[in-house]
Chains A and B, each alone.
Chain A
Amino acid sequence: MRDEDLSTALTAAVRGSDAGFTTLWRALNPAVLRYLRVVCGEAAEDVASETWLQVARALPGFTGDATTFRVWLFRVARHRGIDDGRRAWRKREQARESVEPVDGRAERDVLFDVIENSGTEWALSLIGTLPPDQAEAVLLRVVAGLDAAGAAQVLGKRAGAVRIAAMRGLRRLAAHPQVRDRRAAAGPPRPRGELRLEGNRTDGRA
């Protein structure tokens, strides 16, 4: 949902309108959840609930536009997610370093292995394989609908740093085997080796 559409709902919600709040929630809860799954894994739903509770409580005093609200919402989510998922987060970092899977992240690996699932879940699970800073940057841009400046506010970084992280994330994703496989399989059937990859040099699958 665009910020212009959200702002009406936001104004209403700040005044106490149920409908306004409901609109905000429906528009943004999926994004919050998707973002939180990467931040804190299986705690996402609980953290999302807590996030909305906190936001609901403070909403009567909210001033700002829809973009500000978005930034605020995701910042609340992030902080709560980090608090709740601190341990999981650390585990995840360790998992990246080591070859052996670290328990507790198993569910992520399961998602990861579902190759043929090419929907939202698939996309999110792939983004979830990125290093956290890259995954967050990508998700805040793509899923949360923030621009680089907004994402930077959520992350407490400079916009330039967020841009770089997002770019690195995209590059990794582009090189991901599942993305390639899907690229090869997707769209109107094209002759092998003639994917729309003009610059393609080393794609052994094509």
Chain B
Amino acid sequence: MDARERARRLLRRGGADDTGRLDDERAERLLDGTATDDPDGLAALLADARGPARPDELTGEAAALAAFRHAHAAHEPAPLAAGEPRHRRRLALALTGAAAALLLGGTAYAAGTGRLPDGLQRTAHDLLSGVGVPAPPTTEASGTATQGAPALTPSPAPRASAVPTPTPTPDATVLIGLCRSWAATATNPNAKAISAEDLRILAAAAGGEAAIGAYCERLTAGPSAAPTPPPETAKPGNGATNTRKPSHAGKPDDD
């Protein structure tokens, strides 16, 4: 704390000393990494900042790659390098089935655990908008589940508040929902990414982020989504951070 305050005070003085030599040209060279001299220690500092990747900076590759694969599998116009139309169709089918199943069991885990209502909303939303499956009429419950769930509001996707039904294994249902959310994230350009918390939970269940793909495949292969008790709605406060626009920065072709 002393050190910090001392530093802060010194920082406030800005370039009072040592920096008379720092002109535009030198600054550019420093920033480009092409400075050949280092009178002020900046070149060394910046070289450190751009130092080689550390192991902890290279975790998560498998999850990113899985998302990439899903994205490409779902991207129709793109020529597939090692085209596997069957695989693609299987995925689409799986997702369609998942969507239908979700409508039945969607609220299961929200009710079951009460921990992740927000994720549920997104799961349903992502899944439906992702696969483009028209939502079966779920007139009954639509009021309850969407209320106070801002995550759903930015999208015109069909409401996914499901008909509440009883489930014996809420936890499994939660995970199945998360798996679908995870998959939808990868296949639908407009789907919101699975939240960090959901991802962590999923990773924990799968035994690591790298294992999520296989884990989810196993999990969703079986008969899915079971019914559950009363639909617990999302906590309003919780959803606030999830209302970000789907892709405000993500235009790929705005060069």
Interface digits, A57-74 against B, CB 8 Å rule (1 contact, 0 not)? 111111111001000100
Write the residues of chain A forming the contact surface with B, with a CB cutoff of 8 angstroms: 12-18, 21-22, 25-26, 29-31, 33-34, 43, 45-50, 52-65, 68, 72, 75-76, 78-80, 83-84, 99, 101, 109, 112-113, 115, 118-120, 122-124, 126-127, 129-130, 138-139, 141-143, 145, 147, 163, 166-168, 170-180, 182-183, 186, 196-203
Complex interface: stretch among B9-17, B135-143, B222-230: B9-17
Are the C-beta atoms of A83 and B193 separated by less than 8 Å? no
Taking CB as reference atom, which chain B residue is nearest A50?
B193
Q: Of the candidates A25, A56, A170, which one forms a contact with B71 in the assembled complex, judged by CB atoms under 8 Å apart?
A: A56
Smallest CB–CB gap between B196 and chain A, Å? 3
A-B contact pairs, 12 of them (CB 8 A): A14-B78, A17-B81, A18-B69, A21-B64, A48-B60, A56-B64, A57-B186, A141-B31, A173-B45, A175-B15, A196-B37, A197-B39
Indicate if the CB atoms of A25 and B65 lie closer than 8 Å: yes
User: How far is B45's CA from A124's CA once the two chains are assembled, in angstroms?
Assistant: 9
Of B49, B78, B250, the residue contacting A139 (CB under 8 A) is B49
The answer on a CB contact under 8 Å between B7 and A58 is no
The answer to whether B81 and A15 touch across the interface, beta carbons within 8 angstroms, is yes
The answer to whether A198 touches B252 (Cβ under 8 A) is no
Size bracket of the B interface:
35 or more
**Interchain CA distance A46-B255 in the complex, whole Å:** 27
Judge whether A25 and B51 touch: CB under 8 Å: no
Q: Which chain A residues border B65 with CB–CB below 8 Å? A: 18, 21-22, 25
B53 touching A186 by the CB < 8 A rule? Answer: no
Q: A123: which B residues are within 8 A, CB to CB? A: 45-46, 48-49, 51
Contact of A59 among B49, B53, B57, B252 (CB under 8 A): B252
The verdict on B187 contacting chain A, using a C-beta distance below 8 Å, is yes
For the complex, give the distance between the alpha carbons of A204 and B11 in Å. 15
